[in-house]
Structure 1
Amino acid sequence: MPAIAGIYQMSNEAMLGNHGFELMKAINIPSSEEAIIWQQRQIFLGSVVPKLGETLPYVDVEKKMAITADVHLDNRDELLDRIGIEEVERKTVQDGHLILLAYQKWGRDCPNYFVGKFSFVIWDGSEEMLYGVMGYEREEPLYYYHNQDTFAFCTSIAPLLALPYVEGRFNNQWFTTFANDNERRGIEVDLFITPYEQIMQIPPGYMITIMENQLEISMYRKRKAFGSKTKSSSYDEFV
């Protein structure tokens, strides 16, 4: 199953070392898939993708950006039109690359324009910013560990527990909330906790931004389905 993972060392004194490799080694990778990694100074991104499939992470050296993603876009043609990609180039633009182009055009509003299943994390080196989104159509969250120096993420919990600075203490609040049917559920805090104290989760429909060592988590607006491709105003309809 495709997976994404990464580590962002926010402190200049902190070093990535081999922690990114340890994170990827802890992912269960079937023989039909392969792990691909990218690392630069304080940022590490990794993906587990089908062999002979899309190359991720995708890196735009000129823009100083990189993306890791698990994505299948259903409105590729619309996005390619909106971004202005020439017909001759379209077959070479895979979904992860297309998301990065959309980010370059619309910034953090880009998920409003996507239709399909997606989760992605972008490193914007020009802004020194990490930005990620979990699409509404996904069923799985994105798990993360965060302290004043480090932000580590993965689409499964176990690899995060393999990092030397992540402790595997159980979260009593999670067990109290989800093991007792009589407890009230659905309050917002329940969306983010996991069975482990030091690991949190980003639910579908949320995005994260880390800039100047500040982590921000917020929802994004989901776009309505098209009624007609010829209705120009439909590009800007959201819920």
Structure 2
Amino acid sequence: MPGKRHQGRWAALLLAWLMPLAVLAQPMDCVDTVARDPRLAPVARALDATDALFPALREALAASVGHLCLAQPPLGAQGYFEPATRRLVLSADLPEGLMQAVFFHELRHAQQFASGSCPAPELAMQDHAQAVFAMEADASVSALVIADALRQQGEAAMWQALAAWPMQADIALAYDSARDDGQGIAQAAAAAFDAWYAGEERREAYYVAACMDYLDKQDREHRLPRYDSLDPGFFDGLCVLPDGAAYACAPRP
């Protein structure tokens, strides 16, 4: 059990990465393509650089994201994807590498939603939290694979941002270590997925956030308590690399 000082640090970092839209009613500028706002140039450049390797990214952006928005600080989060409006929102003051990292992390969440990977409302609260864990781990993996591809092309800003970000640094290290050991991308992705779960404080912070969200929705929508379990097939459909290939992942306790 982490101490209170560490709990507070991780809670703050969690809120800085993802936050419910209801808390984030901020003025924002929205466009339907990255080319329409020069402030999104780092995102446009990263998409251009990865088109040949990961064409599904641009396809997902067109199919699953209605608007790209830049919100004026203080936003309270680096970014988020809102399924109800299909808006992918980034804080306007993000530096280049972090803007790319947050964009691709949230784009993966948009893909997850479009593919039906989101947890069903019938799940018990603990199973709902396990689904959230897996979705976050998978989004982290996706961003790392893209960052690695950009790094191989001499564009290291996104990788450096992830490697320096406290919520992602240990995951980036696990991925990099696997690659340095000669493992392929799928094996490194599996190692990064496992590393997400290895962070006890990260799991605790996300568990609290997921349960609060679950209870809030239950109260708001007047849901009766549900006790369904997470389908093991959920993980088979979730863990897909940016090029469409599957990688190994499994539920963790």
Q: Which has the higher helix share?
A: 2
TM-score normalised by structure 2 residue count: 0.29
TM-score normalised by structure 1 residue count: 0.31
Larger radius of gyration: 1
Q: Which has the higher strand share?
A: 1
